[in-house]
Structure formats: C-alpha cells, structure tokens
Amino acid sequence: MHAVLDTSLSSPAVSAQLRAFLDDRAPATPCLVLDLDAVRANYRALRAALPEAAVFYAVKANPAPEVVRALVAEGSSFDVASTGEIDLCLAQGAAAASLSYGNPIKKAADIGYAHARGVRRFTFDSDGDLANLAEHAPGARVWCRFLVDAPESGTPFGRKFGCAPEMAVRLLARARDLGLDADGACFHVGSQHVDPAAWVAGITQAARIARELAERGVPTRSLNLGGGFPTGYRCPAPPLADHAAAIRAAVAEHFGTGVELLIEPGRAVVATAGVIRSEVVLVSRKDDADEHRWVYLDIGRYSGLAETENEYIAYRLRTAHPATPDGPVIIAGPTCDGDDVLYQHTPYRLPLALRAGDHVDILDAGAYTASYSSVSFNGFPPLPTLFVG
Ligand SMILES: Cc1ncc(COP(=O)(O)O)c(C=O)c1O
C-alpha cells in the first residue's frame, strides 16, 4: 500500500497530526478521524471574525461528546435540536443557560423536559409551538424564525422552517402577550451558504420585523443569525471575513448599535477538522467501450455520506496515486441499494492505477457525517470516529 498523498488542488488538506495518525496507526476503514485542535481553531476563528456575536455551536453538525467537551472548555454555547442533544451537552459540562433549543418542530413534552433541565431559550415558527412554549416553558426567551430567500445554499432548507415575516411580527407580539420574553427574530440562510448577501437580506428583514414590533410596543433585543457559514469543498468558499464584514455592515445600517447578536455555526466549526478514510472495494466498468469506471468505496450514502444526496456536497478526495494519469469515475457506496451512488453527475476523476484495497481519503468530512450513518443498513456498522488533538 502506498502512503496516501494529497492530490487536491486547493488548501492544505489535513493537519500534520491527523496525517501522522492516518499513516502511523493505519485505522480500519471506513472511519472518521477528527482533529480536536482543528475544532478549537475553527471555533476561535469564528470568535475572532465576529467577536460581537455569541457562538451557539449547532451540535447536530457533529455531536461527538469529545467535540462538545472541547467547545465547553472554549466557552461556547450550544444550539440543540432535541432532548437527546440537551442531555448530551449537559453531560459534557455545558450549563443549561448556554443551551438554545433551536428546532421549531418539537413535542410539548420535549419542551417541558428542556425547561425542567434549565433550558430557557427556544426558537419557534408557528402558533402551535408557541402555545406549547407558553404552557411548558413559561417566561422563556423566544426567537421567531422567519423564511428567507437564500438561493446559494449548498443544502437548502426549502420552506420547512420559518414563517412569513409579517407572521413573525404577529407571533412575537403574541409571545409577549402569553408571558414569554420575545427576544427577537431569527433566520437561517441554509447550510453551506456561499453568498454573504443572504445574511444581508435576512438582517434587513429582521430589522423590519423589529421596527414593526417596536411600533406595537413590543421591544426586542437580539438577532439570531443562524448558521450556514460555508466550508471550501471542491469549490472554494468565500473567507469567513467576507461574511463577517457583510454582517457587520448590515447590522450597523439596519439595527445600529445595541442589538445582541448570536450565530449558530455547525459546519464551519467541524468540517475541516475531519477526514474520512475509506477503502476501494471494487473498480469496474459497465461497458468495455465506456471510459467511465465505477469506483465502489467501503463508505456510502448510508454510512455517513448523507450530504452527497443530490450531490449537494462534493468532497475533495485524496488517493495514493497523485502523479499518475487519471480518468472519469462514478463513485458509489458498498450497499445493495440503487440510491447509494455518491457522484454520477459531478465530474470526478481518479487515478487509472486505482485498485481494490487502495485508500481514498474524503477531506473536510467532520460535519454531518458520522451522526448520519445508519445503525446497520445491509449489515454495515455505523461510521466510527477516532480523535486526535
Ligand atoms: C437551527 C439551526 N441552526 C444552525 C444550524 C447549523 O448550520 P450550519 O452547519 O450550516 O452552520 C442548523 C443546521 O441545520 C440549524 O438547523
């Protein structure tokens, strides 16, 4: 087996300690290896880029207890989506006051559970959830999520979350009437959003909501800008500084000073900290005349690469054959499922020398991978995570 070398064109692929771990320890594949020092560095980079915003790490991006523990030590707060994530964060030493229940879809019983555990911040986008919050989390701080037009998201939310801005005004006024603390509006531009203008549009709209509420005698005090900060996968993403500058300018223009800012980054904290090491199971062709080879890996859609659905996220790949001729490939997972094809439209090329048993490293894979992997689809075990740093 060759040592695995970086064949990617853009930024340095993995940290030296992660590379050393892969080379020296040769872990069984597939596995995700996560560099906790890189997680800390990403968190600090976000803090430095936007020091005026409190960071609520979106636990869903990578809920490994080790990640949560490292971020508790950094002073992060947490965006949680379920009672399971609440328990996870509390078990890793997070204070209940640092948790925000950001999922607008929740059972009344789960709101009560969260409140009993000390959670006091919630997001909602509907009358039903608001009524449940008033009953089961009396006095809590609440944000109303409104719909934003965010066309440049790599993994768009569609219309699942949020309500029309005019409705957000009505709901926040009702929240106040129900005895809740109407904290303000929130939005999420969709994950992997490469255009800072989306935040500008959201901030502009949020300011209109705040103004209309103020006119109704319902003062709000904060703005939750959600997540969505992108990672450079095969296509480079604008630097964090561009997003921060756009956000800062828009907040200054539309809110002035005095508004409390929050962000809920997930991907930007963990993606670049992780590499998935996989192995080639088979290289084949469907037709002797077809130059495309099918490369089947020992990881697929159901063992962690859920974000390859619709080929939304196109990861950078690394093999052991950097300087040899390559050719076009279709890349698929190992299961007996027709949907378990990772890339058939995105033009990937891999070395012609690639053989069964060779490693393929999947870069920037620390977000939305391990926790997406199925328990045992086709008998394949969930993707394990190993840690360095
Ligand atoms: C409410 C909420 N906040 C934050 C995030 C994190 O988004 P990202 O990983 O794109 O930063 C998500 C992701 O789905 C979310 O649903």
Length of the chain: 389
Q: Are residues 242 and 298 in the same domain?
A: no
Q: What is the pLDDT of residue 2?
A: 36
C-beta of 162 in contact with ligand 1 (< 6 A): no
Per the structure, how many domains does the chain have? 2
Specify the pLDDT at position 153. Answer: 73
What is the pLDDT confidence band of residue 373, given thresholds at 50, 70 and 90? very high
Residue 6 pLDDT more than 50? no
What pLDDT score was predicted for residue 72? 98
pLDDT digits (tens, 9 = 90+) for 229-253: 999 999 999 999 999 999 999 999 9
Average pLDDT over residues 210-225: 97
Using the predicted structure, report yes or no on whether residue 366 has a pLDDT greater than 90.
yes
Q: Do 109 and 210 reside in the same domain of the chain?
A: yes
Please write the tens of the pLDDT for every residue from 140-198. 999 999 999 877 677 777 888 999 999 999 999 999 999 999 999 999 999 999 999 99
Q: Domain check: are 357 and 237 in the same one? A: no
Residue 11 binned pLDDT confidence (cut-offs 50, 70, 90) = very low
pLDDT reported for residue 12: 52
Same-domain status, 256 and 354: no
* pLDDT for res 10: 36
Of the residues 265, 298, 317, which one is the last residue of a structural domain?
A: 265
In a domain, 6, yes or no: no
Is the model's pTM score more than 0.85?
yes
Q: Determine what percent of the chain is predicted with pLDDT higher than 70.
A: 96
Residue 267 near ligand 1, beta carbon < 6 Å: yes
The whole-number pLDDT of residue 347 equals 97
pLDDT band at 4 (very low <50, low <70, confident <90, very high): very low
Select from 234, 265, 296 the last residue of a domain.
265
Task: Please tell me whether residues 130 and 239 are part of one structural domain.
Answer: yes
Categorize the per-residue pLDDT at 322 as very low, low, confident or very high, splitting at 50, 70 and 90. Answer: confident
How far is it, in rounded angstroms, from Cα 360 to Cα 143? Answer: 43
Q: 209 and 122, same structural domain?
A: yes
Least confident residue range of 5-19, 324-338, 362-376: 5-19
Of these residues, 89, 163, 186, 336, which one is catalytic?
336
What is the position in ligand 1's atom list of the atom closest to the CA of 193? 10
Task: Indicate whether 242 and 119 sit together in one domain.
Answer: yes
Ligand 1 neighbourhood includes 229 CB (under 6 angstroms): yes
* Same domain flag for 182 and 229: yes
Q: Is 107 in the same domain as 250?
A: yes
Domain match, 144 and 188 both: yes
Domain check: are 259 and 282 in the same one?
no
3-12, 106-115, 268-277, 374-383: range with lowest mean pLDDT:
3-12
Active site residue 336: yes
Q: How far is the CA of 191 from the centre of ligand 1 (A)?
A: 6
Would residue 8 count as lying in a domain?
A: no
Question: Where does a domain end: 233, 265, 297?
Answer: 265
How many Å lie between the centroid of ligand 1 and the Cα of residue 228?
6
Report yes or no on 5 lying in a domain. Answer: no
Query: 162 C-alpha vs ligand 1 centroid, how far in Å?
Result: 13
Is 50 exceeded by the pLDDT of residue 310? yes
Q: Is pLDDT at 1 greater than 50 in this prediction?
A: no
Q: Is residue 44 part of a domain?
A: no
Give the pLDDT confidence score for residue 150 in this predicted structure.
74
- Supply the CATH number for residue 220's domain: 3.20.20.10
Q: Does 11 map to a domain?
A: no
In a domain, 193, yes or no: yes
Q: Does residue 38 fall inside a structural domain?
A: no
User: Which residue range is the domain that position 348 belongs to?
Assistant: 16-33+272-388
Q: What average pLDDT is seen over the chain? A: 94
95 and 215, same domain (yes or no): yes
Domain of residue 344, CATH code = 2.40.37.10
With 80 as the cut, is the pLDDT of residue 334 above it? yes
